[in-house]
Amino acid sequence: MNNNISSNHRNFDLEAALEIHKLQKASHLLSLNPPLEERLSNLNTLENLLLENKQEIAIALNKDYGNRSIHETLLAEVFTAVDGIRYAKKNLRKWTKPQKRSHSIWFLGVKNTLIAQPKGVVGVISPWNYPLFLFVSPVTSAFAAGNRCMVKMAKESSNLSKLLKNLVDHYFDTATLAIIPDISGSDFTKIPFDHLVFTGSASTARYVMAAASKNLTPITLELGGKSPCIVDSSYDHSIAAKRIMYFKTLNAGQTCVAPDYVFVHEDKLNEFIHQCKKATQDRYSSIEGLDYTSIISEEALNRLQNHIDDAKNKGAKVYNLMRDSKTECIVGKKKLAPHIVIGMSDDSSIMQEEIFGPLLPIKTYKDMSTVSKYINSHANPLGLYVFSHRKSFQNYFLNNTLSGAIAINDCALQVAQHDMPFGGIGESGMGHYHAHEGFKEFSKLKPIFKQAKFSSIELLYPPYGKRFDFILKAMLKLKI
């Protein structure tokens, strides 16, 4: 099961990574279109790896964070990943079937077919915030399509990375799947992959794209941005607050599709603030508890505290939502209480950058057009969340905004819908994985044209003359 090239736990330089790429590429060339059974076997092995080691995975992630809720890891990372694998297995036979395509009447007797073939070796750059799910999810789509995969984990996920490398080396042959530890991002992107997946920030994505372009490597970018919520004045604000605050505090807000800021009607501001406090305090007795996840690093914690200070200095009001409002931050444990921010200026840092933490700015509105104009004047978000039972309100934002996805009456759960593609647009990303679209993302959709025994096109061969003119005139005239 294990290949010697991956059993060495030394740091990987570019040369060592290229050896693994060469091995996987050779394996791909030996089986350019792996059978269904091989693909299902790889997916089954990946599922078994997760199920048989879920507690160890949760413990490793807890170490990487300082405190990462075990329950959140098992739900948001392990279960969601396993559920996606099972969906792919259930649908793989259908996805891999050749598709019949129609032909023009002028090509009598021909047959057109479309087949999906794997691209080859797929590189995956996984981030630190959901390092398991965002490794497994693209690998699931890539395996379904018949590819081999090399994965670079984030340096912040060192404990998980070591564990996963050991597990992958045990469960898989290196020619199929390899974790590349401790390699720099700049070196990893120099590898001539047949496809590259990057999840992270838009600023880093620009460097990744530039590096990939040198090998003409097609790329999928899952980025993020400032995903807004809009709460209709007629919607139950207790439900809206409960659902918004759940995803704002899940993983301490360190989620690419977390609600970044909220629009509430100006007449409902105080009610919404009250409901946000209640929803938070009902869920967490204090930020010291194990259910409340730490910020990933001191640097990230300082960045969030700077957002608070900058907002206050520019006239905003900031409220700690916890019952013990005096405990805003526990520096040693890298824990930051959930806060709401009101009255911040648009030039404050919290409104200019993706927050990636448990801070929730609230803006007020009078009419829907004000909201859509504000959203459309900024980068396209990865998600947009509309809380309303009114069709007219829902449809307004469906038709007057552009985002990676829209969720109605909840947040972020579009990512867990395995029959829908996941991806952004503009600065929130490009390309998709999940669902059939993910299978196609990592496939070359190859058209196959099969000529009939008699070719009608032969009637148009040279020498050109009256017959050609007559047939071409008829072809141009007839509307079929």
Catalytic, out of 72, 222, 354, 427: 222
The single residue listed with the structure tokens 């099972």 is 86
d(C-alpha 85, C-alpha 105), whole Å: 42
183 Cα distance to chain centroid: 22
d(C-alpha 476, C-alpha 473), whole Å: 5
- 279: tokens are 């929803």
d(C-alpha 219, C-alpha 210), whole Å: 11
Long-range contacts of 215-221 (CB under 8 A, 24+ apart): 215/190, 215/191, 217/123, 217/192, 217/193, 218/119, 218/194, 219/195, 219/430, 219/431, 220/138, 220/195, 220/196, 220/423, 220/429, 220/430, 220/431, 220/432, 220/433, 220/441, 221/424, 221/429, 221/430, 221/431
88 Cα distance to chain centroid: 16
Query: Which residues lie closer than 8 Å to 374 by C-beta, 6 or more apart?
Result: 263, 363
Instruction: Compute the Cα dihedral for 182, 188, 194, 200 and give only its sign.
Output: positive
149 is annotated as an active-site residue: no
411 is annotated as an active-site residue: no
d(C-alpha 268, C-alpha 404), whole Å: 28
Q: How many residues does the chain have?
A: 480
Query: Which residues lie closer than 8 Å to 122 by C-beta, 6 or more apart?
Result: 138, 139, 142, 147, 148, 149, 150, 193, 194, 195, 196, 197, 442
3-state helix, strand, coil in the chain (%, to 5): 50, 20, 35
Catalytic, out of 77, 149, 156, 256: 256
Active site residue ranges? 222, 256
